[in-house]
Structure 1
């Protein structure tokens, strides 16, 4: 079969920007130097671009994990154009296809099963899906957002104004146009591109499959640091409607922190989170599966497998009992039916069940420690 035609404009763009960032920036640093203000402004622009993609393009528009005030949507729309990763409409359409057909080489636009190079950059260098390039049927909801349509219509103009205008403006103001073009223009753009592209490539081949092995997505804390929290990708592919990627307080997810902080300011609302019991049961199912696979390599594993399954079933029962009571308690608290917190029988039952779950979890961890 003939390979799809090469998109020479994309090839030249990615190659030239990368070479300027990789060669011209270090050369300029050695021969001329960059001061703290230039480095700080480039970093701020990089953060602005990155957070506009993660909080805006990804979690707001692609997955509708929360709602945002028009002013915040407008800022994200500008940041996305500055990041030069196509319009909101196009990016979100591709991303929804990716989630629907993840790892399907014929349908996933950046399938990780095609290899690192393809999923990282190669999918944009050839015309692999020409018939679906302008098909936005899967983002009809976004076409009702006037900011999305405005950005899509004027995307090329916005990218030129922002990617040329901001470096030039800062260069004129600070007194060194060449430094600004190299740092704020090219280096910031290349870093923004490739750290985002890591989610399509590295996050599907490097890390742990914490919640599921039904697709190639992985959880990776180091990638989360590079990508404003997007590195917990195995979680995201299973619980894509959750506004968080790093669900624990200690997990690095500045995008989550931004969205939550904006809620206090009235700029975001209706933040969606996945039920805690579903998260726990997904992790347990993966631990059970890995333990069973490991045990299958042992001689005469039948009794151990039976015990493992029994402990797992018991833990699931206890989790279901606890969360059923916990949900009932939350519901009654909302209705203000539980006034006496100290003496409420429902509270006591909930605490007892929570203690039972914790005890069973300790037993489960001791049993599976050698297998995971």
Structure 2
């Protein structure tokens, strides 16, 4: 139990407390006595989405993890949106986040370690000067210090934060004809939603959900959180493959941040989108299934034969995955060079098709044995 707690950051306490109180009390009263129309609600969603995507696509995947590159215009848009989201500068946010990934779940080094409890990881870590000695140390972000947009936003963050959080709601309120309604809905409610949905990734996404890729940290995959956080809820995947520009890798997984980054690449606004090799992803999933069933079968001495068969099928799957993806890489090179139909590659093409067929067979065998033992 902590006896000498760090000093309270009263500005943060005031911002979080006052905005939440206004959103929870004043906004419902205003809705009851005055009311909001669809234009205001749509503007709330637009502003909330702008803030959220500036954090997920900008602060997180672009700057913290260098998962892709973006042109100057898009970087400026994200930088302004990040100030609007009121979550500190790109440089500061990214520095915290890189430390989090390097020391995840380490109570002494992870800025928002989930092992210190829900409240701490959600908001408590920002209410006291737990990282006071590191506030000016951005040595882990030397690459970002070479980005003119990052440093421009860092130098003028306070001005940008005030201008966006008051200016945008006020401008909309003047145009729409309801300044107080705009300040409440687009100003305060939007800010509270933006804050706490983002904070869910530090807290709930390390508590609630599944671990299909790794159990070496507390990160979880959760489709509900993905819906609330523009795709960031597939956090277990992210913590093992952090430089992938995607979090939801399946076509049906809700990841609008991924869709935004990909669609921008069609216009040349983003480039060098990084993805984790498919063989590593498949191996990680299979390894987690193996470990889970090993624990289950190991509890009974009568399961030794089943355990041996499970491990045999796993080993066979690993070999076939490796062989196939090596061959697939060469096949892609041949296709790119338009050499697939050349006579000297005929034997390899046949071998490639056989490897593909054998891998599919082994995948089916793996699914059968895991379903049986589960």
TM-score normalised by L of structure 1: 0.97
Match of 1:199 in 2: 201
Q: Residue 308 in 1 paired to residue 310 in 2?
A: yes
Q: Does the CA-based 8 Å contact 1:66-1:270 persist in structure 2?
A: yes
Q: Which residue of 2 aligns with 1:149?
A: 151
Q: Equivalents in 2 of 1:370, 1:190: separation in Å? A: 47
Output the CA distance in 1 between the equivalents of 2:297 and 2:151: 55
Q: Aligned to 1:241, what secondary structure does the other structure show? A: coil
CA contact (8 A) 1:89 1:152 kept: yes
Question: Does residue 354 of the first structure (1) align with residue 356 of the second (2)?
Answer: yes
Deviations 1:92-148 (A, max 9, x none): 000000000000000000000001100000000011121111110000000000000
Q: How does 1:264-343 map to 2 (within 5 A)?
A: 264-339=266-341
Contact in 2 for aligned 1:97/1:108 (Cα 8 Å): yes
Q: State the 1:5 CA deviation.
A: 1.1
Residue 91 of structure 1 aligns to a residue whose secondary structure is helix
CA positional deviation for 1:31: 1.3
Aligned position for 2:53: 51
Q: Deviations over 1:226-246 (max 9, x none)?
A: 000000000000000100000
1:361 positional shift: 1.2
2:264 alignment counterpart: 262
Q: Secondary structure at the match of 2:221?
A: coil
Residue in 2 that maps onto 1:186: 188
Q: CA deviation at 1:368?
A: 1.1
- Per the TM alignment, residue 29 of structure 1 is displaced from its structure 2 partner at its CA by 1.1
1:31 is aligned to 2:33: yes
Q: Does 1:208 align with 2:237?
A: no
Shift of 1:321: 1.2
Q: Which of 18, 21, 25 is 2:20 aligned to?
A: 18
Query: Deviations for 1:34-68, whole angstroms, at most 9, x for unmatched residues?
Result: 00000001110000000000000000000000000
Deviation of 1:340 after TM superposition, in Å, equals: 6.0
Deviation at 1:337, TM superposition (A): 2.4
- Partner of residue 105, structure 1: 107
| Runs of 4+ that moved beyond 6 A | none
Work out the CA distance in 2 between the residues paired with 1:248 and 1:371.
26
RMSD of the alignment, in Å?
1.3
Q: With structure 2 as the length reference, what TM-score do the two structures score?
A: 0.97
| Deviation by residue 1:130-173 (Cα, 9 ceiling, x = unmatched) | 11111100000000000000000000000000000011111011
Q: Measure how far apart 1:30 and its partner are.
A: 1.3
